[in-house]
Structure formats: structure tokens, C-alpha cells
């Protein structure tokens, strides 16, 4: 009897501590936000006025800034294929029996150690119109590629994407190098006997074998793109020039802390959460491997 009980309900005790923390930090505040999203704060003494769905309606139909921000977040999703391709590329090179692979790997991890604030300062310096990058481009005869990266609306978001790529790549490289090293050597031997060339082994053996990690990495990056980009944007452009790099997080921050529209900030965060939940839900639904036991 006792044994049966523990078998049935034991697992819940294992997850209970995490549930406590998560309710404390996420669930409870999100419930509060859900309530707040139906109110607006009145400047007449700070009363909360019931506002129905008006916050949502405003955000979804009228607020051009939120629309722009959402679009920029969608554009940031292009980071995911870039990160995937580059990190697989580098980890494939690094795990070939290249001399000094370990040293290269250590060097390539450097970006991940520096705080984003410092990264922002240094890259702002390098990417400015008379900065070292444009100087080098001009020197090697690519002067037409020297643009005002942070000064023009067309380029600012891409400049930010490059910086994010630079800083987030190491995590992917380490992840995939480890994965590749774990692939059974005999599979490669078999391919060798079949006469497969290098490219074929990469596409037919390495990448399929990495499916689990790829899956993990994609989900991780989706969350990163929607919820962990604030510091990059805040440090480098604060949404400018001309709102061309505003993202949803910045929008939430400005609404909550600068414009005192807490109700609207809450509504936006609820919308954001629902969007990401859908993303992740589909990831889990169609690629259940991560959750399934082998």
C-alpha cells in the first residue's frame, strides 16, 4: 500500500519545490498581470479604472509602436537559422581532428563571458559611422559597404542582429561540439566504406544525429528572441533611430516604467506569453522526442 502510494504520488513531491518557486515568481505575478490588464491607472490619485478589453483592442488595432515592435521581434527570428548554421559549421570544423581545436574553442567562448553592457559599448564604438569596421571596409576597397549602421533605420536592426549573433554563438558551438563528439565513430566508418565524401557525412550523419540538440537549441532561441533581447537593444540603440529597433520587451518596459500604462504593459505581456506558448506548444507537439523517453 505504502509502496503504491509513493509510486503514484511520489513524482509530485519531486516537482513540488520547483512548482513552489515557479508559482512564486511567474504564475502569481502573471495572474496579477492578467487582472491588471483589464484596468487602467488614472492619474487622478492613482485609482484603477476598469477598462474591459480596451487595452487589448488598443494594442492589437491602434498601437503602431507595438505592431512595429512585434515585427522587429519576428525579424529577430532570423537569428535562429543563422545561429544554427554557424554553430553547426564551427563545431563540425572544431571536431575534425584539427590542431589546437581546444584553444580555438576557448577563444570562441570569450564573447559569452563579457556582460552585454560592455559588449554594447564596444560594438557601438566599432560600428559607428567613422568606426573601425567601416574604416577597414574602405581600406580593402569595399567602401560602398560602409554604412551608418546604427544611424539609419534600414541597417540598425541588422547591426543589432550581428552583435547578438556574435555573443550568442559560443553557447551553440559548445553545445554542438559536445554533441558531435558523442556520435558513434562506427557510423562514420560505415559511411567511409560506402565512399561518402565529407559534405555527405555532414548532411547524412552528423546533422540527423544532432536532431535532439537542434530541437533543444531552436526552442531555447525562440525564448531568447522574445524574452532576453532587452539589454542588447537598450544598451545599443534604445529603440532608435526612429523606432526602427523597438522590440516588445522595450515596449513593455517603456509602457510600465516610463509611460505609467501598467495595464497596457500587462496586456502586452499576456499577449506575448500566449504567442510564445503557442510556439513552444507546436514545437513539443510535432517534435515530441524531447519529452519522450527513449
CB of 258 to another protein, least distance (A): 4
CB of 78 to another protein, least distance (A): 18
In angstroms, how far is CA 63 from the centroid of its own chain?
Answer: 24
Which of 82/219 has CB closer to another protein?
219
Burial (0-12, 13-18, 19+ Cβ within 10 Å), 254? middle
Which of 81/117 has CB closer to another protein?
117
Q: What distance in Å separates the CA atoms of residue 55 and residue 62, rounded to the nearest whole number? A: 10
CB of 172 to another protein, least distance (A): 11
CB of 270 to another protein, least distance (A): 9
Q: What distance in Å separates the CA atoms of residue 257 and residue 209, rounded to the nearest whole number? A: 46
| Cell numbers given for 242 | 526612429
Which of 74/289 has CB closer to another protein?
289
Q: Are 156 and 245 in contact (CB under 8 A)?
A: yes
Which of 78/284 has CB closer to another protein?
284
Name the helix (H) or strand (E) containing 39. Answer: strand 39-41
Q: What distance in Å separates the CA atoms of residue 254 and residue 98, rounded to the nearest whole number? A: 49
Which of 81/259 has CB closer to another protein?
259
CB of 119 to another protein, least distance (A): 6
Amino acid at each position: 500500500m505504502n509502496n503504491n502510494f509513493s509510486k503514484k504520488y511520489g513524482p509530485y513531491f519531486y516537482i513540488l519545490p520547483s512548482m513552489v518557486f515557479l508559482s512564486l515568481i511567474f504564475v502569481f505575478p502573471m495572474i496579477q498581470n492578467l487582472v491588471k490588464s483589464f484596468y487602467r491607472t488614472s492619474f487622478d490619485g492613482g485609482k484603477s479604472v476598469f477598462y474591459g478589453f480596451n487595452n487589448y483592442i488598443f494594442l492589437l488595432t491602434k498601437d503602431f509602436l507595438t505592431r512595429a515592435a512585434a515585427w522587429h521581434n519576428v525579424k529577430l527570428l532570423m537569428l535562429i537559422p543563422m545561429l544554427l548554421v554557424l554553430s553547426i559549421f564551427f563545431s563540425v570544423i572544431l571536431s575534425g581532428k584539427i590542431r589546437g581545436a581546444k584553444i580555438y574553442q576557448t577563444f570562441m567562448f570569450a564573447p559569452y563571458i563579457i556582460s552585454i553592457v560592455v559588449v554594447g559599448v564596444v560594438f557601438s564604438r566599432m560600428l559607428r559611422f567613422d568606426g573601425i569596421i567601416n574604416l577597414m571596409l574602405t581600406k580593402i576597397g569595399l567602401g560602398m559597404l560602409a554604412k551608418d549602421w546604427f544611424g539609419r533605420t534600414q541597417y540598425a536592426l541588422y547591426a543589432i542582429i550581428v552583435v547578438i549573433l556574435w555573443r550568442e554563438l559560443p553557447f551553440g558551438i559548445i553545445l554542438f561540439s559536445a554533441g558531435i563528439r558523442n556520435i558513434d565513430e562506427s557510423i562514420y566508418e560505415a559511411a567511409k566504406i560506402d565512399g561518402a565524401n565529407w559534405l555527405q557525412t555532414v548532411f547524412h550523419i552528423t546533422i540527423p544525429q544532432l536532431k535532439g540538440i537542434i530541437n533543444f537549441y531552436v526552442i531555447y532561441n525562440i525564448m531568447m528572441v522574445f524574452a532576453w533581447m532587452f539589454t542588447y537593444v537598450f544598451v545599443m540603440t534604445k529603440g532608435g533611430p526612429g523606432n526602427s529597433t523597438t522590440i516588445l520587451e522595450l515596449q513593455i518596459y517603456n509602457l510600465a516604467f516610463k509611460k505609467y500604462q501598467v495595464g497596457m504593459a500587462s496586456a502586452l505581456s499576456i499577449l506575448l506569453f500566449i504567442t510564445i506558448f503557442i510556439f513552444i506548444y507546436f514545437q513539443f507537439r510535432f517534435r515530441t522526442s524531447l519529452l519522450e523517453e527513449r
